[in-house]
Amino acid sequence: MKQLIFKFPFQTSYFNSDFYVSKNNFDAYKLLENYNKLPSKLINISGPKGSGKTHLVKILKNKLEGVIFNASEISQNKLETLNFKVIIIDNYYKTTDIDPLTFYSLINQSISQEQTLIVNSILPLIHMDNSLKDLTSRFKLFLNLNIDLPTDDLMQVIIQKNFSDRQIIVDAKTIDYIIKRIDRSYDKLFKFVEEIDNISLTSGKSVNLNLIKKVFKLNE
């Protein structure tokens, strides 16, 4: 008899209780806790892929009643429609993601209209090369909050949360095994949990230490 496997989409929640605080993201946490007293209306949150930047700004979006756009969605034609109190730009990874002149215009518009503009990037904006000097000068106006690579403690809670989001229970021994062998990268953590989930579903096997070891061996 063929077994049917149903893959139910998991939904990541975006609440303060799901934002885990460590020394690597404490400045970002302070922003979250003092969202109604933002020290600047131009804010840049930087850090590696999967570091929790999107998670953070989605919490801020709910608190500040803002809107989120992927960097690739921003164009000169779209500027006229950005009449929001809080604008959040996610996934600004390289300066070509947004036309430099368009970005320059967006920043000027945000300043003149007293809008809050929050930009997520891998590198701090001020360290990103671009072809427009005026844009570089505008980048200097941003308050930068950096999220570093995760500590062991933070990796533990991130792994636990991502498995939990998929209704998978793993014990502390298994989590410790993963931490000792996986790259210290949020992005790698998220992809690894997804891979484990997919293999478990397709093979019909439960997630345990033996399955974890098998996946590590496959990725060697």
**Cα–Cα dist 45/150, whole Å:** 16
Of 52, 108, 48, 47, nearest to 79 by C-alpha is: 108
User: Quick check: 13 pLDDT over 50?
Assistant: no
More confident site: 50 or 126? 126
Span 14-18, average pLDDT: 49
Over residues 176-204, the pLDDT tens digits come to: 999 999 987 777 888 899 999 999 888 88
Predicted model pTM: 0.75
- Over residues 75-97, the mean pLDDT reads 91
At 9, the pLDDT band (50, 70, 90 cuts) reads very low
Q: Nearest to residue 22, comparing CAs of 164, 172, 184? A: 184
Q: What is the pLDDT of residue 107?
A: 97
**Could you read off the pLDDT of 150-171 as tens digits, one per residue?**
888 888 888 888 898 888 989 9
Domain extent listing, the chain: 25-146, 152-218
pLDDT band at 129 (very low <50, low <70, confident <90, very high): confident
3-state secondary structure of 100: helix
Instruction: Please check whether the domain covering 152-218 is classified as CATH 1.20.140.10.
Output: no
Q: What is the DSSP string of 155-209?
A: HHHHHHHHHHHTT----HHHHHHHHHHS-S-HHHHHHHHHHHHHHHHHHTPPP-H
Residue 91: pLDDT band with limits 50, 70, 90:
very high
CATH of 25-146, one of 3.40.30.10, 1.20.120.1200, 1.10.357.10, 3.40.50.300: 3.40.50.300
* Alpha helix positions (H), the chain: 26-33, 53-64, 100-112, 133-139, 152-165, 172-181, 186-203, 209-218
For residues 67 and 57, what is the distance between their CA atoms, to the nearest angstrom? 10
pLDDT band at 18 (very low <50, low <70, confident <90, very high): low
